[in-house]
Structure 1
């Protein structure tokens, strides 16, 4: 009887497995038919492997000063506009500047911005990368208002100078440093200060940075929400970051308004956002500012190291401004506006 019962269980399990395989096979065939069905007017290209497409090749690491082997090989083979399959979706990839400008100029008219569902899950439904139309404009205006000229003049500039001096103070004569690592620490410390008034060296600043770096690794990872994967760890880190922001919000609810001059204070004071929206705004401001600023700063240092004549002209300009300083004088907005050559270098770098 016991053997017969076990055989019945095994037969039932085998039947379920067969049914599941059948269902998965039908789903795979439907996906293949929808993805590979010829559509007139599409540019040339390759759809890659079933389900995976060409995602693995697309995500291969490459130098920040190149487009990467995926783009170079496809452009050489198919031209500046080609079809592919990325992140499980049929995709048209454009490396044509004029066409890209046309798309951006006609956003919400002829084109609508969208991202795979895994991006929404990890960045939040109120992310600027996910929102469209009026909701996107409303959330974007929050970031724009925070970066106003008075804010840049009265708070950002002094903080930038303070963080630069703090970073330079940790360098020793003859020490070999990593420009990228130093750029990452400088950028994150500055962002943490401007967004939540976290100071460099504080335990919570270090913890926030570690959580964020884990989070970033999952943003561009395959969306496999399985323990041990980069995507799973990123979702866990996202939860930890949001818990940190919630704790700060709770602490500030017991303090008088106007105590801080950071983004969190700004969005809280407006009173127009829910807690969920505030959390997504904070996370996305870190996301939007950290990677772009870190890469730009690192590349600026790299290119300046290759251009000694430019470095010399920068030195002359800054020494002239510095000549009027007293021992305790700091940079002012007027000093910043005098840096005409520096602005040209910054524009060229961008």
Structure 2
């Protein structure tokens, strides 16, 4: 027995070594067998170690184009190709069918898989980042707060007020930032809907400054949490914002009064932890601010270069005003007014198609999958690229031209138009965003004419920014019926 024990002692390292060697050989054999399957064309090992081709993929380019990297890969490999992006082997898809397949199978074959640096800023319970039942729970709360019924009864009049309040005193014939204007409008709307904050109160101005620094860090191309970096400041701003929100939550609990805002809904959620509630509140500010403010800036940009579209918009919105006057209705915009804005919806669709507010999303394969003859290994990053479809001449004639009239013929674009993502992760605020953009367009075209003060274009970083923050000059628009206050000032505002 002793001899056996001594023998085992000497042979055990050899057995361990044999185990690891055999395990490694088995792993390599499996990987080789997978590589022999029909992976999409390209290389999952290209570029720098770990980084791969990430910097080429996210290299800034006009948001009305797909960028040189994407253009080159599509020409070389077709609509589905392989690369190494965001620290992992990746499959990039510009194929509408595959993108729909990926989005519709969320939670079954694929799941959201964003870079960890986003979680450090947005929070690990951010709606954008979580998966499974937690995502369903958070999204359900968000949808209930922004569905058409609530927009009609609670939100629309608030949107109308905030848009008019900010538009009524724009500087005449003096350059100002249209991007900053759009950010103020959307932030004031979300601060009101989430926290019942008035735009003139000091806390609102402080929170907006903190939030802008937070967003700059989230969009940073150098996401390293070091003192003095934009990203490091964003992490600090996140902490400041959450402290402020926690203070608001505790004040609500102490008062015991129910508030009809998103914070009021969140406070009542007994199935969420404090951390989850705070991340959800921050998620709502982020979701309701970033994409909508960008879309409003893009509306201003595209319409400035398309006076024919502005003229048709004015005709549509003057028609709404005249109809309300004739019926003796209140000048305040109502849900039925919004539903009559047919050409306005065409302008919004074209803005989202050409501007590509959300160019692509991050997913991960949960298991080995074969699709359209291509093998997709488990664990691979999947990047459905919407902009490559929106700007494809096979699907849209003259795709780089701003042509809102195309949407008078396109009734059901299906998987060839996904500005709000799709599947179980369809944007919870899709209706709110469209209503907010429509109200902004209504008041802008009836009140002002505008032009660029300096040339500027939208750049994808991948978050969209204007280098010069879209400087414009406005002057009053005087129509034939300008003597009627319903046209020039549809809703009375406080001085």
Q: For 1:43-54, what aligned pairs fall within 5 Å after superposition? A: 43-45=40-42, 47-54=46-53
Distance 1:204 1:301, change over 3 A: same
Aligned-partner SS, 2:268? helix
What is the DSSP-based 3-state SS (H/G/I as helix, E as strand, rest coil) of the residue aligned with 1:161?
helix
Higher mean alpha-carbon deviation, 61-70 vs 134-143, is at: 61-70
Q: 1:337 aligns with which of 336, 339, 343?
A: 339
Query: Which residue in 2 is equivalent to 1:149?
Result: 148
Q: Do the aligned partners of 2:194 and 2:261 also contact (CA within 8 Å) in 1?
A: yes
Gaps of 5+ in 1: 1-32
Alignment match, 1:8:
none
* Higher relative contact order structure (alpha carbons within 8 Å, sequence separation ≥ 6): 2
Alignment of 1:186-225 (within 5 A): 186-220=185-219, 221-225=221-225
Matched pairs, number: 315
- Mapped contact 1:179–1:301 kept (Cα < 8 A): yes
Partner of 2:477: none
Return the alpha-carbon distance in structure 2 between the equivalents of residues 74 and 237 of structure 1. 38
Residue equivalent to 1:347: 349
Measure how far apart 1:328 and its partner are: 6.7
State how far apart, in whole Å, the 1-side matches of 2:308 and 2:95 are: 33
Check whether the contact 2:52–2:86 (CA below 8 A) recurs between aligned residues: yes
Cα deviation for residue 196 of structure 1 reads 0.9
Q: Which has the higher helix share?
A: 1
Is 1:114–1:129's contact at 8 Å kept on the other side of the alignment? Answer: no
Q: Write out per-residue CA displacement over residues 28-61 of structure 1, whole angstroms, 9 at most, x where no aligned residue.
A: xxxxx9xx99934333335211132222233332
Shift of 1:165: 1.0
92-101 or 57-66: which moved more? 57-66
1:175 equivalent to 2:174? Answer yes
Q: CA deviation at 1:136?
A: 1.2
Consecutive unaligned residues of structure 2, counting only runs of 5 or more, are 1-27, 353-495
Structure-1 residue corresponding to 2:227: 227
Q: Answer whether contact 2:188 2:199 (CA < 8 A) is retained.
A: yes
Are the counterparts in 2 of residues 187 and 294 from structure 1 also a CA contact under 8 Å? Answer: yes
| RMSD, aligned CA | 2.5
Contact 2:321 2:331 in 1 (8 A): no
Is 2:239 the partner of 1:243? no
Give 1:17-56 correspondences, 5 Å limit: 39-40=35-36, 41-45=38-42, 47-56=46-55
Q: Separation in 1 of the partners of 2:183 and 2:70? A: 27
Query: What is the Cα deviation at residue 106 of structure 1?
Result: 1.5
SS in 1 for 2:92: strand
Shift of 1:122: 2.3
- Alignment-derived partner of residue 128 in structure 2: 129
* 1:263-302 map, 5 Å: 263-302=262-301
Please say if residues 191 and 290 of structure 1, whose CA atoms lie closer than 8 Å, have aligned partners that are also in contact.
Answer: yes
Structure 1 position 222, deviation (Å): 4.1
Q: 2:461 aligns to what?
A: none
What SS does the aligned partner of 1:84 have? strand
Over 3 Å counting, the alpha-carbon distance change for 1:87 and 1:230 in structure 2 is farther
Distance in structure 2 (CA, Å) of the matches to 1:143 and 1:265: 12
Q: CA offsets, 1:300-340, max 9 Å, x none?
A: 22222232222222212211221234797311222222323
How many Å apart are 1:279 and its aligned residue? 0.5
1:111 shift after superposition = 1.7
- Residues in 2 aligned to 1:219 and 1:297: alpha-carbon distance in whole angstroms: 20
1:160 aligns with 2:159: yes
Q: Is the 8 A contact 1:180 1:298 kept in 2?
A: yes
More strand by share: 2
Deviation at 1:80, TM superposition (A): 2.5
Q: Distance in 1 between matches of 2:131 and 2:214?
A: 24
Provide the C-alpha distance between the structure 1 equivalents of 2:313 and 2:286, rounded to a whole number of angstroms. Answer: 30
User: What TM-score do you get using the length of structure 2 for normalisation?
Assistant: 0.59
User: CA separation in 2, counterparts of 1:207 and 1:231?
Assistant: 19
Give the equivalent residue in structure 2 for 1:26: none
User: Deviation of residue 276 (structure 1)?
Assistant: 1.0
